[in-house]
Structure 1
Amino acid sequence: MPSTTIKTALPVAIATMEKRYEGEVVGRSATLFTSAFDQGTGTYVAMESFEGALHGRTGTFNFAHSATTQGEGMNNTFFVIVPASGTGELTGITGTGGIAIDADGTHRIWFNYELS
C-alpha cells in the first residue's frame, strides 16, 4: 500500500475490508478505505465494489462514501452509487444512499436508486 511522506497531526492510513450484507441488500463487497483518524476525530473515504442482490435484482456496482467524526456520530456524510458501474440486473443503476451505525456497532446500509 502506498504511504504519504508528509506528516500531519492525524496519521493517514489505507485499509482493505470485505463485508457481507443481508436483508434488502444481500451480498458482499470489497472495500478500499483511506482515513486520517485518531481516537476522537477523523475523516474516511471508501470505495466499495458490491456483488449480490438489491431488492431482488442481482448484479454488481460500485459505491463511494465518506464521513467525518468528532466524538459521537458521523458528520458531513457523502454517499453515491458510481454511475455506469452496474452489471447484470443492476445495469444503469444510479443514486445515493447512506449508512447508520446502531449502538451495538451493527452497520445498516440503504440505497436510494434508479435503474435506467
Structure 2
Amino acid sequence: MKSFVPTGLEQEPAIATGLPVGVARIEKQFEGEVAGRSATLFTAAFDQTTGIGTYVAMESFEGSLNGAEGAFNFVHSATTSGTDRTAEFFTIVPTSGTGALAGITGAGGLAIDEDGTHRMWFDYELGRPGV
C-alpha cells in the first residue's frame, strides 16, 4: 500500500452504532502479473483494537494484467473477526475497461499474508467492449 489517507467525510445524519464508520483514500502499487497502480475509495465499520469489522472498497486500476495494458474498476468487500475473512465479495465493474483491457469481465480475490502483504488476483476474460 502506497498511502492510506482518512478523509473528513462525515456520515449524515450521524447515527451512533457500536462501530464508527470511516472513509479513506488509498493508493496502491502492484507488481508481478498484476502491475500498475490503483486509487481506492475505502469505507469501513471497524474496531482497530479487536480487528473486527467490515469494509467496502471501490478501486480504479491502471496498468497491466499479464501484459495487457489499460484501466478498469473493481470492487471488493469482506468481514473480519480479527483473525479471518468471511463474506468476501470481489468483482470487476462491467464496461469499465479501457485500452487492451476494454471489455474485461470477471472477479478475483484478495489474500493477506501474516506479514501484512496484500496479494490480489483476477479471474477475468477479455471480450468486446460494451458486451
TM-score normalised by structure 2 residue count: 0.86
Match of 2:37 in 1: 28
Partner Cα separation in structure 1 for residue 105 and residue 17 of structure 2: 36
Deviation at 1:2, TM superposition (A): 2.8
Question: Among the aligned pairs, what percent are the same residue?
Answer: 65
Structure 1: stretches of 5+ with no match in the other structure: none
Which 4+ runs in 1 deviate beyond 6 A?
none
Q: How does 1:1-116 map to 2 (within 5 A)?
A: 1-4=8-11, 5-38=14-47, 39-40=49-50, 41-116=52-127
Q: Give CA-to-partner distance per residue, 1:20-44, whole Å, 9 cap, x none.
A: 0000000000011000000321000
SS in structure 2 of the partner of residue 68 of structure 1 = strand
SS at match of 2:17: coil
User: Which stretches in structure 2 are left out of the alignment for 5+ residues?
Assistant: 1-7
Give the root-mean-square deviation of aligned CA atoms: 0.7
TM-score w.r.t. length of structure 1: 0.97
> How many correspondences in the alignment?
116
Q: Distance in 2 between matches of 1:30 and 1:73?
A: 25
Structure 2: distance between partners of 1:70 and 1:54: 32
User: Using the alignment, how far apart are the partners of 1:37 and 1:14 within structure 2?
Assistant: 11
